[in-house]
Amino acid sequence: MARSDAKRVRLAIVSTHPIQYYAPVFRTLAQSAHVLPRIFYTWSQTAEGPVFDPGFGTRFAWDVPLLEGYDHAFMPNVASRPGSDHFSGVQNPGLMEAISGWGADVVLVYGWNLQSHLGAMRYFKGRIPVLFRGDSTLLDARSPLRSLLRRVYLRWVYSHVDVAIAVGQNNRDYYQWCGLSPARIAFAPHSVDTVRFGDTDGEHAERAREWRKELGISDDSVTFVFAAKLIAKKDPLLLLDAFMALNSSAHLVYFGDGELEATLRERARAHANVHFLPFQNQRTMPAVYRLGDIYVLPSQGPGETWGLAMNEALASGRPVIASSRVGGARDLVREGRTGWVFEFKNGNDLARVMRAALTRGRDGLRRMGDNAQALSREWSTEAAADAIARAAVQAFAARSVEAPR
């Protein structure tokens, strides 16, 4: 039996703008018997339409609904240069009053490196429980001095958090490094909508078969897929070099656009088994992953804190190859069962694991894909929403017990 709204913990969530990975979680939270969420979006300019994406170099909008099924409000952003790419790009003078006026029992802040977000953490600390969610890791190398200064500052930042919600193991290690004790770290998996990436009617598989036929890929050819921005951070050139070193009959398909596209096309010009297709929006992505037999994310970073494309590939029934700089690989890649991890920037090691994939053949990779899809259920929208709700309820209960003192 569902609780009445009066008995649900009122959870205020502070986030910059509608994001395709978060919206399904917010919709699921709205159906919870335990929390009553309201999302306070702080980059109000995004309410009016597409957002400029520096990676794509253009204004861009996803083709899946991002505002349906949950309560939300866009808070006026008065920043002179609005954006989520710099600290002063999000300034919401009315945010604290709006959250308090709504009667929040708990506040969950996504990301601290924006003026209003850090301000919310500081304002509500000691008033109501403050939860935090991010996906930072310690994977990117820094000098000893920069690392020390960063740690000192981050310990101050996270002193304003009651509970940090980790998305995976590398993120948990980061929170502990920042001074949070295990008791102050909860877990809610970094997730995608696994239902949407399923294929109960076979529509996505059929589109993938059509694509393979159009590209001249035979039924018995193992195919590697890269679907991401063609930028240095993702290291698509390393993948191309490793693939060409295989000297096999396999195929490699790039989905995406970016600054390295011309270089990639020129380098692959003489290789008939390398294909380039344009960026695809969200509704087509389940077919994108199914075109291939294995998904490759060779990122060198910096800042590849998770790699949610891996979640999408697994949910589509495809194993993955990921570099050691991909934050989510530690959680999602079970060596030889759901994929392989190689040493970042090491083309020989990447070629090694690609050869391992080729020895499995399409049938063997399909069996790995079954393992991958089974694992993806642990990283679903529902699992993430349930864990966030549980963390909010526990934080509220703990504060309620402490209050009489």
CA dihedral sign, ordered 255, 261, 262, 266: negative
Domain 5-191+380-402 and domain 203-378, same fold? Reply is yes
Cis ω on the peptide bond leading into residue 236 (within 30° of 0)?
A: no
Q: What is the pLDDT of residues 78-92, one digit of tens each?
A: 999 999 999 999 999
Helix (H, G, I), strand (E, B) or coil at 104: coil
Q: What is the pLDDT of residues 156-171, one digit of tens each?
A: 999 999 999 999 999 9
By the 8 A CB rule, do 190 and 137 touch? no
pLDDT at 27 over 90: yes
Check residue 1 and give its pLDDT.
30
Crossing angle of helices 236-246 and 347-376, in 10° steps, is 100
Q: From 303, 292, 299, select the one nearest 323 (Cα to Cα).
A: 299
pLDDT at 99 over 70: yes
Name residue 48's amino acid. Answer: E
- Find the Cα–Cα–Cα–Cα dihedral 90, 326, 328, 63, rounded to 10°: 60
Q: From 375, 374, 335, 370, select the one nearest 356 (Cα to Cα).
A: 335
pLDDT at 389 over 50: yes
- Angstrom distances, CA of residue 396 to CA of 10, 128, 281, 391: 10, 8, 39, 9
Check residue 339 and give its pLDDT.
98
Check residue 58 and give its pLDDT.
57
pLDDT at 66 over 80: yes
Residue with tokens 């300019």: 45
DSSP character at residue 250: -
Which overall architecture, per CATH, does domain 5-191+380-402 show? 3-Layer(aba) Sandwich (3.40)
pLDDT at 4 over 80: no
Helix (H, G, I), strand (E, B) or coil at 395: helix
Q: How confident is the model at residue 54 (pLDDT cuts 50, 70, 90)?
A: low
Per-residue tokens: 370: 């079954």
pLDDT at 50 over 80: no
Check residue 23 and give its pLDDT.
96
Mean pLDDT along residues 12-25: 96
Per-residue tokens: 298: 């060779």
Secondary element (H or E) of residue 350 = helix 347-376
**Phi and psi of 92, rounded to 5°?**
-125, 90
pLDDT at 60 over 90: no
Mean pLDDT for the chain overall: 94
Residues 6+ apart with CB under 8 A from 104: 10, 11, 12, 38, 128
- Angstrom distances, CA of residue 270 to CA of 142, 255, 273: 39, 19, 9
CA 252 – CA 235 distance, rounded (Å)? 15
pLDDT at 405 over 60: no
Q: Which residues pair with 274 in a beta bridge?
A: 252
CA 313 – CA 251 distance, rounded (Å)? 17
CA 78 – CA 92 distance, rounded (Å)? 6
pLDDT at 20 over 50: yes
Strands 51-53 and 58-60: antiparallel
Check residue 56 and give its pLDDT.
55
**Helix residue ranges, H only, 32-94:** none
Q: What is the pLDDT of residues 205-258, one digit of tens each?
A: 999 999 999 999 999 999 999 999 999 999 999 999 999 999 999 999 999 999
CA 75 – CA 82 distance, rounded (Å)? 13
Q: How confident is the model at residue 7 (pLDDT cuts 50, 70, 90)?
A: confident
Supply the Cα-derived Rg of the chain in whole angstroms: 22
Q: Is 228 exposed, middle or buried (0-12, 13-18, 19+ CB in 10 A)?
A: buried
DSSP per residue over 354-376, as a string?
A: HHHHHHHHHHHHHHHHHHHHHHH
Q: What is the pLDDT of residues 100-129, one digit of tens each?
A: 999 999 999 999 999 999 999 999 999 999
DSSP character at residue 3: P
CA triple 193-379-180, angle to 5 deg: 125
CA 397 – CA 250 distance, rounded (Å)? 56
Which overall architecture, per CATH, does domain 203-378 show? 3-Layer(aba) Sandwich (3.40)
Q: How confident is the model at residue 266 (pLDDT cuts 50, 70, 90)?
A: very high
By the 8 A CB rule, do 312 and 282 touch? no
Q: For the chain, what's the residue count?
A: 405
Check residue 34 and give its pLDDT.
97
pLDDT at 53 over 70: no
pTM of the predicted structure, to 2 decimals: 0.94
By the 8 A CB rule, do 221 and 304 touch? no
Check residue 57 and give its pLDDT.
55
By the 8 A CB rule, do 53 and 61 touch? no
Domain ranges of the chain: 5-191+380-402, 203-378
Q: How confident is the model at residue 3 (pLDDT cuts 50, 70, 90)?
A: very low
Q: Which residue did the predictor score with more confidence, 61 or 65?
A: 65
Strands 35-41 and 72-74: parallel
Q: What is the pLDDT of residues 219-232, one digit of tens each?
A: 999 999 999 999 99
Looking at the chain, the whole-number percentage of residues with pLDDT higher than 90 is 89
Q: What is the pLDDT of residues 313-365, one digit of tens each?
A: 999 999 999 999 999 999 999 999 999 999 999 999 999 999 999 999 999 99
